[in-house]
Structure 1
């Protein structure tokens, strides 16, 4: 017996599907009219691929490929999977590719390819290997990009993550935008892409809120349809990030590029302490850059040296975020400020803050630190500086670290009259995060009634429980009254340490799900080797993979496809007959 669906996230005063007069915002069930055209045209390509294999049918099934999160491991494994699916002719039968977290790093790169590039994904795989092997990452390019990003009102730690962590690991920056894929997708020459995130506003505490899923496609971005009773709310993809009020466009902002979208989808926030340490280490690289020290970039007019003060402030905010002892950092900061008349007020406030710290809770401490930042930052220092853009980047990053601000974007539903849920319309901004914090696979975006997949090929690169995405999706579907095949949890629990390479779940209703754990008995051989593989390819590995490690990971991921080619094609053929 299924649980009762949750209260509607979107209660509209207008008929679902009706768009406002500008057609920038839409509230509708299921997929948009633009996506319907893309899917219809893709269906023609799918039909041709089926006929090449001797599968005679008038209509092919909707095949969705899900690629999970998992950092750089997921990005490389995703490339291996898609290359092998392409090589075997199966990718031509796929309608949707939906990615979460690290897999979107691969997806973004592939969707910059031309149609010819999609015909031979081996070239994209070779290019990935070349980038990783040659370490094509440039510190000064990252710095320049960060200074430019900090000019935006919605600068957040996602921008920092994009041009430091994601760029450092993938060795790639992209100015290409998701809306640029629209031509390919509407013609049906490529599978329709779905990039998954979640909204921080709707993810309350540790509860994986059912309403929190936020998708990006070439046509629309927004909150997906939830269950059979709640429509989704969307903004046209080129306008995602622009300012809206009351459903009307107030100020158009440039569409964010793929580099930012990859950071947004893959912000890897599951382990906050590790993330803070990484940001701290990278920030120090910027501060200690040798060429900066030889120039007057840090040494400001009148002998004022901001380097030590900024660095101590950053260390203080990092310590606060990781629940460390802030008193030593405050003492160092006060010592650094003492004797400098420009910071007399801030130094005096440090004394007061030190006395109050032990008598306040976390939220109150954050307010005290915020006031300290206000008293420390001097506008005239920026005006005198020859490197105001650099100082602005440093300062904004410190402020974002204190508030732990990620994925800031303008809320397109701000004061929207057709939406009664105040969680959605009350704030000018919304904050988007890594969907790995939800299910780590984009099942909710391809299941009925959103996209009505007939078969889901789920390639799971998640570290830890190889069946977590399956069991959590089953729970999600029960809560939303969505059909999902039965899951034998006892069997999955027995197989957790050494899973097989493919599991098929099917029932009387809902899609057929084929689940492929990355490391398994077939490509590894034993539980011991599987365990060693996870140590080698751990999610929070911040050093480069060797060329041999990249090649082996590609080989393992491809084997999961190759060994199960006949099972996949047999199931697609069976479902094709059912839809003929």
Structure 2
């Protein structure tokens, strides 16, 4: 049953903000899962003199925040436990039980013998089911477990889902202390504090002073089988104060009736005032996160406005006799690659050329990464930028590019950055070195830190007067895996920010705010766009393995570093994979070595707006998810992004130098891609990487097959298309190359003898003024690069017009969804 349209977000958001494609609402039953840990066999010896002292831990994150533990069996390689544990589970989510066998050590940290993840979906209700779990088929260690799944009489839970992410019903627990008595510890001046913990809730832990009355809240899943734990402790000491005679207490939340207040005595407080009032109730159902793979309503409305502008521009450029029908208007997208200052300046030249040719208004989408986003962010400060002469923003860029970067680190500048970062921290943001990098960039490119916001760029789209800008970033694991083994596309637009893989989006003004289970918990002021540029263009977030793969493409890193949690096998329902003994998880050497290889010097940590959401039991089989799922970790739901409280966002260029993924979202149906390359030495690398990526993901993309001669001496423009695959867009690629510009000052205008020097450019190598790490350009170098980019596009006007005619003819003859799986 499909839900009615529902408003998304808080009161300050537009009431017209409705999901692009309705999410599904399901009523789902609960089940009681009983797990009996029986015995283990063939456990490794603790050392040469003694056998292991093993115990087992159990955790099911989708059901409870608690970690259960068996008793320890001493000196045994074949321990028998026969201990039973219970979980209340939701049948419509992916429930993965984590079992870990530990070796208890009284001196050092307990060692992990092995870990197993088990998908409980194969357990049939009402049947006793025994399973022997092993680390891998070759390993001798085994663990026998008995399962029983039973339906419960609990009322069904209403879920909101896009069949990949699941938002469950949320409750809030209000806790208050109306009066406070004497809370001084006997024999001292220390004051008592009350520490409350509710695992897997949004708040997790809160510490409250008992000096005054207070009110506090916890937000948690209604169907979570968990409990509130409380402790009294001294405010002066970090540990528990034994003099207070305090004892921990717990309250099972399932025992609290919604809407009914319960009074609880605080143990060890002898005064009658030491009582807590507890009351639980349901939270509103409405989500602030949009669960949908479709385009948001604002973008759909923009497309209707932009089509009118594009139709008029195409009619003029192609000299058409009649107006185009709405379904005949092709969608043109710009793919702007990264490349630091070189990319920023060259992109100005390419846009200038398109404007001169009357073709800029033919573009619907404008996607960019890394240095290209500097141009984009600057242009969209002006709501009418594409309708005005670009000389003014270009002149602005030329002036500031000539400044030395060292000036941005003078004492007065550093003091200014410090004040800005202090204010940002007071607003509730986590400060990182990437934020400082964003401020340095802003000062370098504009002379001051401005108050521009991403949502403010909506003014440039109100009448469809400009293309829709799309900025791309990657979410990775902070110190866990290299980018090649785990990365997720995160798209930023003036309308919203979200994950292509999960179909979860929030309004751009809410990015950085704190969410839980799809609800907005803590709204922070919207970030200035300079802090987003610190995400989009952070070349310092690359780790050692990423750097190796970049300088040695096609070669694996000499030592394979696997996920410290064994990789999950969807086919067997258990974990698998092994590492060299010295790299086994938990060893100090393994942790240090992995930290060195996968640590990221400068990365941006942002609040995860998907935090708390769970994965649907059938998420892996959903077409929309599998389109963007590209690593083994995608089969391990407990380790995917919804489980993380924060995102680790880096420059997309750490994986591939292409912004094409944004153009391949379902619903955008891009017919023609204008690809602008800003790589010094490898003009086809970004496109070939994306072609390979599309082939692996089942996306339709034209074959990029330049000849060896093209690699040695590339031309100004290449047209790639696949007539046999109408789903694949036509691709026009413009390498950053100095070809006929050497001899021509303008298309068809030969250079005179005194002008030949202006056509000579050193584009490659570390001695080039356009080297990637050069942040300061002389005026003559800026002008020459701008003129080269302008010339290369204008000189290929005929090729562009022919490509437009091709996609126009294709649009007129058929209707097709582009960028979808074959």
Counterpart in the other structure of 1:505: 720
- Contact 1:100-1:266 at 8 Å conserved across structures: yes
CA distance in 2: counterparts of 1:448 and 1:85, whole angstroms = 25
How far off its partner does 1:123 sit?
A: 1.8
1:491-521 superposed Cα distances (whole Å, 9 cap, x missing partner): 1x43223211111110133100011111243
Q: Secondary structure at the match of 1:106?
A: helix
Alignment of structure 1 residues 162-561 onto 2, 5 Å? 162-165=438-441, 167-168=443-444, 171=447, 173-201=449-477, 205-208=481-484, 212-224=488-500, 226=501, 232-269=503-540, 361=589, 363-364=591-592, 404-417=601-614, 421-422=637-638, 423-447=640-664, 449=666, 451-488=668-705, 491=707, 493-507=708-722, 508-509=725-726, 510-523=728-741, 529-531=762-764, 535-542=768-775, 544-561=776-793
- Quick check: 1:98–1:194 contact (8 Å CA) kept in 2? yes
Q: Which residue of 1 aligns with 2:297?
A: 33
- After superposition, the Cα gap between the structure-2 partners of 1:446 and 1:433, relative to the gap in structure 1 and judged at 3 Å, is same
1:450–1:23 Cα change, 3 Å? same
Q: What runs of 5+ residues in structure 2 fail to find an aligned partner?
A: 1-92, 95-158, 168-284, 548-586, 620-636, 744-758, 813-822
Matched, 1:71 2:340: yes
Residue 325 (structure 1) aligns with: none
Match of 2:415 in 1: 143
Is 1:14–2:246 an aligned residue pair?
A: no
Shift, 1:183, TM fit: 3.1
Q: Distance in 2 between matches of 1:174 and 1:258?
A: 8
Structure 1 gap segments, 5+ residues each: 1-9, 277-358, 370-401
Displacement of 1:52 after TM fit?
Answer: 2.1
| Aligned counterpart in structure 2 of residue 129 of structure 1, from 374, 391, 398 | 398
Distance 2:329 2:313 in 1: 9
**Cα distance, 1:240 vs structure 2:** 0.6
Structure 1 residues 79 and 240: alpha-carbon distance in aligned structure 2, compared to 1, 3 A threshold: same
Shift of 1:536: 2.1
Q: State the alpha-carbon separation in 2 of the partners of residues 502 and 25 from structure 1.
A: 42
1:48 is aligned, of 312, 318, 326, to: 312
User: Normalised by the size of structure 1, how large is the TM-score?
Assistant: 0.70
Task: Tell me which residue corresponds to 2:811.
Answer: 579
Bigger strand share = 2
Q: Within the alignment, does 1:87 sit opposite 2:356 as a pair?
A: yes
Q: Secondary structure at the match of 2:539?
A: coil
- Give the Cα–Cα distance (whole angstroms) in 1 for the partners of residues 286 and 506 of structure 2: 11
> d(CA) in 2 for partners of 1:481 and 1:534?
41
Q: Please tell me whether the aligned partners of residues 117 and 124 of structure 1 are also in contact (alpha carbons under 8 angstroms).
A: no
8 Å contact 1:247–1:417 — kept in the other structure?
Answer: no
Query: Using the alignment, how far apart are the partners of 1:473 and 1:455 within structure 2?
Result: 16
| Distance apart, 1:22 and its partner CA | 4.2
Shift in CA distance, 73/116, structure 1 to aligned 2, threshold 3 Å: closer
SS in 1 for 2:396: helix
8 Å contact kept, 1:17–1:26? no
Higher RCO, Cα 8 Å, sep 6+: 1
**SS of the counterpart of 1:201?**
coil
* TM-score normalised to structure 2 length: 0.50
Would you say the 8 A contact 1:243–1:249 is kept in 2?
A: yes
Q: CA deviation at 1:562?
A: 0.8
User: Are the counterparts in 2 of residues 503 and 514 from structure 1 also a CA contact under 8 Å?
Assistant: yes
Contact persistence 1:267–1:434 (CA under 8 A): yes
Q: How many Å separate the matches in 2 of 1:551 and 1:32?
A: 40
Equivalenced residue count is: 448
Rounded to whole Å, the distance in 2 between the matches of 1:188 and 1:96 is 11
Given the superposition, is the C-alpha separation of residues 270 and 469 from structure 1 closer, same or farther in structure 2, using an over 3 Å criterion? farther
Displacement of 1:15 in angstroms is 3.8
User: Post-superposition shift, 1:17?
Assistant: 11
Cα distance 1:479–1:515, how it changes in 2: closer, same or farther (>3 A)?
A: same
Question: For residue 239 of structure 2, what is the aligned residue in structure 1?
Answer: none
User: Post-superposition shift, 1:570?
Assistant: 2.0
Distance 1:196 1:202, change over 3 A: farther
Distance 1:574 1:171, change over 3 A: same
Once the two structures are TM-superposed, the CA of residue 407 in structure 1 deviates from its matched residue by: 1.2
- State the Cα distance separating 1:267 from its structure 2 match: 0.6
Structure in which a larger fraction of residues adopt helix: 1
Cα deviation, residue 571, structure 1 = 1.3
Measure, in 2, the Cα distance between the counterparts of 1:466 and 1:214. 25
Q: CA deviation at 1:523?
A: 3.4
Q: CA RMSD in A?
A: 3.4
